[in-house]
Amino acid sequence: MTKRDDRQQAVHKWVRETFGERTLALEERVMRVLEEAAELAQAEGLTRVKALAIIEHVFNKPDGDPMQEAGGVGVTLLAYCAARGISAELAEDMEFKRVQSIDPARFRERQNVKAAVGIGIHTGDSLHARAVDCSGVCPHCGKAYPLMGSVIFPHYLPSKTQPLCPGSNQPPTAAS
């Protein structure tokens, strides 16, 4: 086994232990690869318009072979790192060490936020103060949301683009 094969097994174990067996599903792993690729593109200044044009281009072609496409992701990442002047090996190793140093509960909470908006699989963990009742209606503003396998409402989650619900300055508690 190579160092990368060993790290692959260690990452697989970390994902299972951090997020649970359900998040090892292929669709979930593919969504996370796409998310990381989009974050890299954003970090390098690629516009949303160009990113969406690439997505349209890809999805207008026939499906590829997963083994070949995984190899393409790896080769393309190596070419990017060479052009950027960074070591892919070092970047991968540093990132894995970084994520291992973070409380797994933080990752589970972030994963559950993704699940709430339909772009991830719920870990099954409690959502603590961001959980609300299962009625599908915001208790503060009355806005209805479809329940997508989760009980949190996206407008309760402060982010760069999404403020808290205007009816409250705080996310509701499970008792709300």
Question: In this structure, are 96 and 175 located in the same domain?
Answer: no
Say yes or no: 94 and 16 in one domain: yes
**89 and 128 share a domain?**
no
Domain count, the chain: 2
Range of the domain at 17: 3-102
Q: Are residues 79 and 159 in the same domain?
A: no
Q: Smallest Cα–Cα separation from 109: which of 123, 96, 99?
A: 123
Pair (169, 121) in one structural domain = yes
Do residues 94 and 113 share a domain?
Answer: no
* Residues 13 and 92 occupy one common structural domain: yes
161 and 94 housed in the same domain = no
Measure the CA–CA gap between 11 and 105, rounded to whole angstroms.
17
Q: Are residues 11 and 33 in the same domain?
A: yes
Instruction: Looking at the structure, tell me whether residues 20 and 93 fall in a common domain.
Output: yes
pLDDT in tens, the chain (176 residues): 788 899 999 999 999 999 988 899 999 999 999 999 999 999 999 999 999 999 999 999 999 999 999 999 999 999 999 999 999 999 999 999 999 999 999 999 899 888 888 888 888 754 333 333 344 555 555 666 544 433 344 444 444 444 344 444 444 443 33
How far is it, in rounded angstroms, from Cα 15 to Cα 20? 7
Domain boundary pick from 61, 84, 102 = 102
- Say whether both 84 and 158 belong to one domain: no
Indicate whether this model's pTM tops 0.75: no
